[in-house]
Amino acid sequence: MSQLNKDMIIRLLSEENNEQNLWQQADRVRQENVGDEVHLRGLIEFSNVCRNNCLYCGIRKDNKSVCRYRMSEEELVSTAEKASQMGFKTIVMQSGEDMYYNKDRLCRIIEKIKKFDVAITLSIGERNYDEYKAFREAGADRYLMRIETTDKELYHKLDPNMSWQHRYECLLMIKELGYELGSGIMVGLPEQSIESIADDLLFLKEIEVDMAGIGPFIPHPQTPLAKEAGGTLELSLRTMAVMRLLMPDINIPATTAMESLHPEGRIKALQSGANVVMPNVNNSEYMKLYELYPHKPTQGFSQSDIAKKIESIGRCIGKGYGSHHRKV
């Protein structure tokens, strides 16, 4: 099944009347390869300051109506401690590209958080080799950075002043340094074709990601793309399901953006190939300020709510770190 070629992928992505079958098939492949455990990651969005100006993103530099925040070292470490006490075995540290957190500062933070016996995932964008290496040596285990799209022309339209090639090279550096690599895309970007999404999926397979995050693009009113249509939940779920068929044993999160389009979006995702959920552990004031797209949940879940939901669909919460185990 992981032999799907581009034409077959395009067909699966296009066939709206076959999507229920596709979702079920991805659910089966998920169960056979990674089992019924759902791994939870405690997400800390620690700064919404960003040097970039991606046209789609609510925290782009030119959005002057965002009130910017930055957690202090102490606050970030204590939030991580709280998350570990809640039972999270992975902490995801995410922020805009905020250079206030330089190499030394981040290494210090990583070393402190590592003492809580958790896996650490960084999601802080493009840095240089020396920094990636230092973070890895300080104890970071995984790195998330979406390629967003493999259509280079579209990428450069969407991310002025950024280079697709540079981002790609960052992903290769991260992999070489022995991080577990997470990447992914947005679905439903302006001018993005189904064919281009098929290329994206083949790209993620080619670079052998350990984790693939796929979510709909949701237009943010304070960005240049405010009037665009955005992606649908259904196409995002089909894309995610095909990803599961292509890479049966990787980690695939049920993304928050899916929940923003439908109250049960993440549950649907868990039943269509996903096996990871990343609950936000920030307080709701910070959550409101980290508005990448509208209707992003600004309320955390309690642990017991999450457990109940997961158990209600016959699944259980993962007990370990939830690392990727390659089957072949």
Site residues for ligand 5AD per CB under 6 A: 56-57, 146, 148, 186, 215, 217-218, 220, 257, 292-293
Instruction: Give the separation between CA 311 and CA 226, rounded to whole angstroms.
Output: 38
d(CA 236, CA 44): 24
C-beta closer to ligand 5AD: residue 25 or 255: 255
The residue among 33 and 53 lying less far from ligand 5AD, judged by its C-beta, is 53
> How many whole angstroms separate alpha carbon 277 and alpha carbon 28?
18
Q: How far is the CB of 92 from ligand 5AD (least distance, A)?
A: 11
Nearer to ligand 5AD, 19 or 148 (CB): 148
106 three-state secondary structure: helix
Least Å distance, CB 141 to ligand 5AD, is 19
Q: Is-contact 160 154, C-beta < 8 A?
A: no
Nearest approach, Cβ of residue 291 and ligand 5AD (Å): 9
> Which of 4, 55 has the CB closer to ligand 5AD?
55
Query: Which letter does DSSP use for residue 51 in this model?
Result: S
Please report the DSSP string for 165-219 in residue order: HHHHHHHHHHHHTTPEEEEEEEES-TT--HHHHHHHHHHHHHTT-SEEEEEE---
Element (H, E) at 92: strand 90-95
Report the nearest approach of ligand 5AD to the CB of residue 159 (Å).
10
- Please report the sign of the dihedral spanned by the C-alpha atoms of residue 290, residue 223, residue 218, residue 31: negative
Shortest distance, position 62 Cβ to ligand 5AD, whole Å? 14
How far is CA 292 from each of CA 97, 114, 179, rounded to the nearest angstrom? 13, 28, 25
Paired with 81 in beta bridges are none
76 versus 189: smaller Cβ distance to ligand 5AD: 189
Query: Quick one: 29 or 233, whose CB is closer to ligand 5AD?
Result: 233
Q: How far is the CB of 232 from ligand 5AD (least distance, A)?
A: 12
Q: What count of Cα atoms within 13 Å lies in the side-chain half-sphere of residue 172? A: 8
Q: Shortest Cβ distance from residue 142 to ligand 5AD (Å)?
A: 15
Instruction: Select 28 or 51, whichever has its Cβ closest to ligand 5AD.
Output: 51
Query: Is the distance from CB of 237 to CB of 12 less than 8 angstroms?
Result: no
- The residue of the chain with the least Cβ separation from ligand 5AD equals 293
